[in-house]
Every structure is written in structure tokens, then in C-alpha cells.
Structure 1
Amino acid sequence: MQFLHILQLLVLMALANGAPIVAKKIYGPRFSFPVDADIGFLDRRPLFGSSKTIRGIFVSVLITTACAPLIGLDLTIGAIVAGAAMAGDLFSSFLKRRLNYPPSSRALGLDQIPESLFPMLACRDALSLTIADIALGVGIFFIGALVLSRLLFRANLRDKPY
């Protein structure tokens, strides 16, 4: 069991997913260009939705990459975690649009699992993670994301207490 690596990844995943939320509070609507450029998919629904921004992805990758060495991981691991977490977030948003969920709506599991599973899988070989390590990391992230979301809401950093 790679418990130290799991903890390190959990910290990076929290940073990757939290940095866009903080950036939104700091910058408001400034620099918030939608990743999908407001393009619709074949079903005429938004590809991802307006809440998924280039600013969010940029801030996520920058902060997560910069913080990785502070917790004993290489810069490339930070970049991989951020990129994979954002890919998981975009995947979730894509599915939620297809399921007709409104932007920023809650979908228990769908909001947490891809954002943690994708980075854990992306780092599997580099950090010698087993399937059990990945399952534990995803499970801890799932519970932690629900708790942290409520704390961020109380601190006025989130708009809704997922």
C-alpha cells in the first residue's frame, strides 16, 4: 500500500479542483472564457457549459504543478494530476449536459469520481499504485470532497454546499 503517495495525490487533487473555485472568487467574471467557446454538441446542448473555463484549467495546472515539489513530488506529477483532474471534471460536465443537468448542478458520484479516478490512473505507473491504492484514494476523495465542499460554502468560497 502506497499510503504516502495516496495522501500526496489527495492534496494535489484538492488543489487542482479547488484552485478554479478560488480563482472565480478572486477574479469574478474576468478572464472566464468557456473552454467549449459556447459551442453546442450534436444534441444542441452545451459541450461542457459556461462554468468550465480556460482560466480555471490554467490556474489549476499552475497551482498544482507549483505545489507538487512542496509535498515531495515532481513538477511533472503535479501537472499530470491537474491535467487529469480537469479532464475528469470536463468529462463529468459533458455527461451532465447529456443527462440534462443544469450547469453547476450536483450529481453525486459523477462530480467526484472522475476528478479523482483520472489522476490516480494517470499516476499509477509513476507512483507504483495498485488497484487497491486507487480505490482507496478515490473513496477518500469522494468523502473528502463532500465535506470540503460544505466547508468552502461556509467560508463563502463556493456558491452551493454540494
Structure 2
Amino acid sequence: MQFLHILQLLVLMTLANGTPIVAKKILGPRFSFPLDAGTVFFDGRPLFGPSKTIRGILISVLITTASASLIGLDLTIGAIVAGAAMAGDLFSSFLKRRLNYPPSSQALGLDQIPESLFPMLACRDALSLTIADIALGVGIFFIGALILSRFLFRAHLRDEPY
């Protein structure tokens, strides 16, 4: 098991997924532009929805990439984690729109698994992660995200407790 790499990835995945939330609270609507620019998919629903912004993606990639070297990983790993976490988040949003979930609504598992599984898989070869390492990382992230989300809600950083 690669416990150190799993912990490092958990830190980066938390940053990647958390910085857009913090940026929203700090910046409000400033510099917020929907990534899908209001595009509607052929099913008549938004592609991703208004809560997925260019600002969120950019700040996630910048902060996560810059933070990688602070925890002993190459900047490239930080960029990969951020990009893959955001891809997982967009994948979740896309599926939630297809399933007719409103923006920012909760979908247990769908909200946590892709945004942790995608980065773990993307870093698998570079960090010599096994399937067990990936499963452990996703499991810890899943539980941690549920706990951290409630904390962020109580700290008035999240609008919803999930």
C-alpha cells in the first residue's frame, strides 16, 4: 500500500474540490461565468448547470497545482489531480442534469465518487497505485467529503450541508 501517496492525493483532491466553494464565498458572483455558457443538451436540460463555472475550474487547477510541491509531489501531479477531479465533478453534474436533479442538489455517491476516482486513476501509474490503494483512497474521500461538507456548512462556506 502507498499510504503516503494516498494521503497526499486526498489533500490535493480536497483542495481541488474545495477551492471553488471557498472562491464562491469570497468572490460572490464576481468573475463567475458558467462553464457551459447556458448550453442546453438535446434532452432540453443544461449541459452542466450554472454552478459549474470557469472561475471554479481555474482556481481549482491553480491552487491544487501550486500546493502539490508543498506536500512533496510534482506540480504535474497537482495539475493532473485538479483536472481529473474537475472532470469527475463535471461528469457528476452532467449525469445529475440527465437524471433531472436540480443544480447543487445531493446525489449520494455520485457527488463524491467520480471526483475522487478520476484523480486516483489518473495518478495510478505515476504513483504506482494498486486497485486496493485506489479503493481505499476513494472510500476515505467519500466519508471525509460527507463529514467536511457538514463542517463547511456550519462554517457558512457551503450553502447546503452536503
Q: TM-score, normalised by structure 2?
A: 1.00
Q: Percent identity?
A: 88
TM-aligned CA deviation for residue 79 of structure 1: 0.2
Q: Quick check: 1:121 aligned with 2:90?
A: no
Q: Describe how 1:11-90 pairs up with structure 2 within 5 A.
A: 11-90=11-90
Name the structure 1 match of 2:158: 158
Report the Cα distance in structure 1 between the residues aligned to 2:17 and 2:111, rounded to whole angstroms.
11
SS in 1 for 2:37: coil
Name the structure 1 match of 2:108: 108
Report the Cα distance in structure 1 between the residues aligned to 2:144 and 2:6, rounded to whole angstroms.
13
Q: How many residues align?
A: 162
Q: What 5-or-longer segments of structure 2 have no aligned partner?
A: none
SS in 2 for 1:82: helix
TM-aligned CA deviation for residue 44 of structure 1: 1.0
- C-alpha distance after superposition, 1:119-157 (max 9, x if no partner): 000000000000000000000000000000000001110
Could you tell me which amino acid in structure 1 is paired with residue 99 of structure 2? L
Q: Quick check: 1:132 aligned with 2:132?
A: yes
Q: What 5-or-longer segments of structure 1 have no aligned partner?
A: none
- C-alpha distance after superposition, 1:2-58 (max 9, x if no partner): 000000000000000000000000110111100001000010100000000000000
Query: Which runs of at least 4 in structure 1 moved beyond 3 Å after TM superposition?
Result: none
Could you tell me which amino acid in structure 1 is paired with residue 9 of structure 2? L
Report the Cα distance in structure 2 between the residues aligned to 1:152 and 1:45, rounded to whole angstroms.
29
TM-aligned CA deviation for residue 73 of structure 1: 0.2
Report the Cα distance in structure 2 between the residues aligned to 1:108 and 1:32, rounded to whole angstroms.
26
- C-alpha distance after superposition, 1:106-127 (max 9, x if no partner): 0000000000000000000000
Report the Cα distance in structure 2 between the residues aligned to 1:60 and 1:54, rounded to whole angstroms.
10
Could you tell me which amino acid in structure 2 is paired with residue 138 of structure 1? V
Query: How well do the aligned residues superpose, as a CA RMSD in angstroms?
Result: 0.3
Report the Cα distance in structure 2 between the residues aligned to 1:135 and 1:72, rounded to whole angstroms.
22
SS in 2 for 1:118: helix
